[in-house]
Amino acid sequence: MLKTLLVVAIGLFPALLSLWALRKTEAKRRTIGQALTSVRVLPVATAIPSDRYYLEGVGYLIGDISCRYNARTGNLRCAVNPTGPCQDCHYYESLPSS
């Protein structure tokens, strides 16, 4: 009889442990959820760069396209000075002529 009770107790222990962990996690989630509902999230205004232009067949580009480091995308100016501006950038190197 004692062995049977021991086997049942050992068999139920993982389920009880799992239930305890689940309840603890749910309580923590509710606390975090209540804290987040009091926080207002404002949309981030993305400024359109002033040196943005459209190139036919390529799309919108920003920065000086004649620079070797220009990323040639509308999202990133270059690898060494991504936020710009390109004027007076000391990393400027003109593209090699081919």
Q: Which amino acid would we find at residue 80? A: V
Longest CA–CA span in the chain (Å) reads: 92
Q: Which amino acid would we find at residue 24? A: K
Exposure string (b/e) for 29-41, b if CB count within 10 Å is 16 or more? eeeeeeeeeeeee
Ordered per-residue pLDDT tens for the chain, 98 residues: 889 999 999 999 999 999 999 999 999 888 887 777 766 666 665 666 677 888 888 888 888 888 888 888 888 888 888 877 888 888 888 888 76
Domain ranges of the chain: 1-39, 51-98
